[in-house]
Structure 1
């Protein structure tokens, strides 16, 4: 049930889609089925070559809350998201990828949380992991305690991009996504938001996050790690000098430097990712051993494992407290 005492505000759900015909119907339907109904769904079709646009239009013709933006050419996720944000009207902006699903109470619980915590600029959530067939294959726990979130912020992204809801004012304050970040654009945004706002997670899984060989995370794993490292270095610059070198630095040169500097670490993390998610055991072991031989260590996987353990302990502790109340 929606909390009737809560002020009703428009939530803009922003979704970018490229050749998403296989999953986008389910993603859109998951928004249509929300318990909180004061929303608009802004979908940016990024010049898909399949039937994605036709599917989107079928939904938008039946529900006027769905707004469609059709890019003339493919401009990528980051720029498309900014286009969607500029063409949205909500006081709150939520993300959902075109192959993920929102649990029915997702918008309700997140907007209630932000109303109850006016000092929080962004809230994410945990997630069920699903495969290409939509079957649950696991959980992704997230840190919900602000102290832990802030402590680990510079080691890894403690938020699932597809789960976040952010205040419009906070987005305006930091300037939305920075378009040089082709990948890990969410981590750069989150680090900049953390300079000015408290950030938090709801431990409960409020989305279903699809994990498959075709997902962006799988296809561009190393590039995501590189861009995440760049976002991290910019955050350190801002702490030390009150600004970063985003505007002046040449990204292509910086990416090449990162590839050489951290080659062993990227190989290790890719190996662990193949082992855990792609189930490519031979390739994963080979990448992991090759990375270790180059002096690498899977730092991202290491910190991700620590956060999963801490989050699981926290959830278990909270459940036990409720049982004894």
Structure 2
């Protein structure tokens, strides 16, 4: 139980991809995990697919939301039932390579970091195309994260022994705000620069709406982090420059 990894997966209209995501977890070389899938009242048959797979693998658990509350609420439902020391985040359309958990736990124990994240590649919606490898920095602190897009949610693992309970704030970038909260309290974030995750780029992906994403980043600076206009503009300029480089290639 001490070294169990609790996987947090919010799911909404994920019927076309959720089985592939689950299979990538089942293929892990590290097998002491539980996968908590919070289905957020979508109109498709996501919950039926997850329920069927959970019957043959008790480590997969379906959590059914009572109403559609968005990704933060779904993640909080799953976090409320997590039993592991390690919390790993995996979105319903992304994939892990087989050594991901094994390599990341070893790295986290070695570095004693509160939060770790890994490198990744983008894949197309049908997984037919794979993009260039996206490298990650060796380490990042609170101020560094404010001006960087380095951390992919599906690559993150958190040590609850160091952070205590994890709660996602109800906002557009609940994941980004969560990492900021951990780092603001002095937690260390270390990057494992290895190709361990596949980030699926969907045509309707929220994160691909760059205009809205930029507005929400600005809102995070001003309303959540409480920065003034000048400080927000300084951080945003760095963020925008890095984001432009990041998305220049598939």
Bin for the TM-score computed over the shorter chain:
0.7 to 0.9
- Give the TM-score of the pair, scaled to structure 1: 0.68
Specify the SS of the correspondent of 2:19. Answer: helix
- 1:152 CA drift (Å): 3.3
Larger radius of gyration: 1
1:41 and 2:41 are equivalent in the alignment = no
Over the aligned positions, Cα root-mean-square deviation in angstroms equals: 2.8
Q: Residue 149 of structure 2 contacts residue 242 of structure 2 at CA under 8 Å; is this kept in 1? A: no
Question: Which structure dedicates a bigger proportion of its chain to helix?
Answer: 1
- Whether 2:184 is the aligned partner of 1:191: answer no
Higher relative contact order (CA 8 A, sep 6+): 2
What is the aligned residue count? 242
- 1:166 equivalent among 152, 158, 165: 158
Deviation of 1:137 (Å): 2.9
Q: Do structure 1's residue 176 and structure 2's residue 167 form an aligned pair?
A: yes
State whether structure 2 residue 95 is matched by structure 1 residue 101. yes
1:115 aligns with 2:115: no
CA distance in 1, matches of 2:106, 2:129: 27
Answer whether contact 2:148 2:239 (CA < 8 A) is retained: yes
TM-score after normalising by structure 2:
0.86
* Structure 1 unaligned residues grouped into runs of 5+: 1-6, 241-256, 263-296, 309-325
- How far, CA to CA, are the matches of 2:82 and 2:218 in structure 1? 30
Runs of 4+ in 1 over 6 A off after TM superposition: none
Partners in 2 of 1:298 and 1:131 — Cα distance?
29
Over 3 Å counting, the alpha-carbon distance change for 1:151 and 1:75 in structure 2 is closer
Q: What are the Cα deviations for residues 267-307 of structure 1, in whole angstroms up to 9, with x where unaligned?
A: xxxxxxxxxxxxxxxxxxxxxxxxxxxxxx98644223567
CA distance in 2, matches of 1:136, 1:108: 26
CA 150–136 in structure 1, closer or farther in 2 if over 3 Å, else same? farther
Counting only pairs closer than 5 Å after superposition, residues 178-257 of structure 1 correspond to structure 2 as 178-179=169-170, 181=171, 183-195=172-184, 196-218=186-208, 220-233=209-222, 234-235=224-225
Q: Measured at CA, do residues 231 and 298 of structure 1 come closer, stay the same or move farther in structure 2, by a change above 3 Å?
A: closer
Residue aligning to 2:121 = 128
